[in-house]
Copies of this chain bind each other. A is one copy, B any other.
Amino acid sequence: MLSEFSLIDRFFARRAGTVRIATDGTLGIGDDCALLAPRSGEMLAISTDMLVEGRHFFPDIDPHALGHKALAVNLSDLAAMGARPQAFTLAFALPQASEEWLAAFSSGLFELAERYDCELIGGDTTAGPLNLCLTVFGSVPPKLALRRDAAQPGDDIWISGALGDARAGLGVLRGEWKADDSDTATFRRALEYPEPRVQLGLALRGIAHAALDLSDGLAGDLLHILERSQMQAQVDVDAVPRSSALRRLAPEIQQRCTLAGGDDYELCFTAPATARAAIELAGSEVNIPVTRIGTIGALESAASSPAISWRDASGNPLTLSLQGFDHFHAD
C-alpha cells in the first residue's frame, strides 16, 4: 500500500526542495535528516499542527482543499510571528493510497507552498486513520518576532481581513442556518481555503507589539495575548470587520461567528496609537484590510484577571454569552 513508494515519490519527493548545506553540495529528501539554517543573524520560527478527520475537516473534504488548508494553518502561525516561510515537513497517515486523492492533495499543498517559497524538506508516510502533521519553519530576527506577551497599555487592537465567514460556512454545511448559493460559496471558500497573512506579518515587524493568528475565535484567542501580556482589553463589537455575505445572516449569528467562530486565520495584533498610519500603510501595501477594534489597558490591580470588556459602537458595555459556541477547530 504505502510501500507503493512510487506514488509518494511521484507526488511528493520529486517536488521537494533541496537545501544547500555547504558551498559544495545540497541535501534533499532521502537522508536521515534534512539540514536547515535560518537567515544570517535570525532564528527559525517553528510550529507544528496535527489535523484529524472529523475534528478539523469533514471526511468528504476535497483533498485539494485539505492540502491547502493543512499548510495554510501552519503558515498562519509563521505569519503571526512575523517570520518568513522557509520550509516544512509533512507526516501523514492514510487509510489507503488513492492516486487520485494524493494527486489532488499534493496539488493543493504545493500550490500554496510555491506561492510562499516554502520547500518540503522531509516527511513520513504510514498506513492508518487519516491524520496530517505538518511542521513549518520560518526565519525571523528574534528581536522583531511578534510575540503574544508584548501588548502594552494604550495599544490599539487590530484585526486583518474579516472574521466569521469560516464559522458561517461550517454552520451552512451543518444545516445550522441557510445562505444563498453565492454567500455559501464565499463561506465555504473561507472555511476550506484560508489565506495565511504572511505578507502582513512581515510588514508588521518593528511596528506591531503583540500578535497571534485567530484559529479558535477572537474571544478566546485575544485572551491568550491578554494572559501572556497581563493586560485587559476593551473591544468595540460593532467595529469587528465582517463580510457583506456574513451581514446577510441574522445579527446574533453574525456576532457569534465573528467573536467566537474559529478557523479565521486572520491576524490579531496590538500596536501603539502612534503607529496607526504605519499600520494602514502596511496593510495597503500588502493589499490586506486592517481594522482597529479596541484598546489594551493595564490590569486594574494585581488581583484582577486579564479579560475582555465588550462594548457597542456608543461605548456601552455588552454582556455576551459566547460559551459553548462550538466551532470546528475545537482543540
Contact = CB atoms under 8 A, between A and B. Distances in A.
Contacts of A32: 45, 47, 77-78, 80-81, 148, 211-213
A83 B45 contact: no
How many chain copies does the complex carry?
2
A27 interface: yes
A3 B47 CA distance: 19
Contact of A52 (B38, B46, B77, B93): B93
B3 A33 contact: no
Contacts of A181: none
A86 to B, nearest CB: 11
A126 interface: yes
A138 interface: yes
A45 B33 contact: yes
Given A32-B81, A126-B56, A21 B145 contact: yes
A250 interface: no
A286 interface: no
A48 interface: yes
A121 interface: yes
Given A128-B55, A129-B131, A46 B22 contact: no
A277 to B, nearest CB: 26
Contact of A48 (B45, B89, B131, B212): B89
B131 A128 contact: yes
A143 B22 contact: yes
Given A3-B330, A56-B126, A140-B35, A50 B145 contact: no
Nearest to A81: B33
A4 to B, nearest CB: 10
A221 to B, nearest CB: 10
A82 to B, nearest CB: 10
A35 to B, nearest CB: 4
Rank and list the top 10 A-B pairs by shortest CB-CB distance, nearest first: A52-B128, A133-B133, A33-B45, A32-B80, A50-B91, A129-B129, A21-B142, A48-B89, A35-B43, A32-B77
Given A33-B45, A33-B138, A44-B44, 12 more contacts: A31-B81, A32-B47, A32-B213, A33-B46, A33-B83, A34-B45, A48-B133, A50-B93, A52-B93, A91-B133, A126-B331, A131-B133
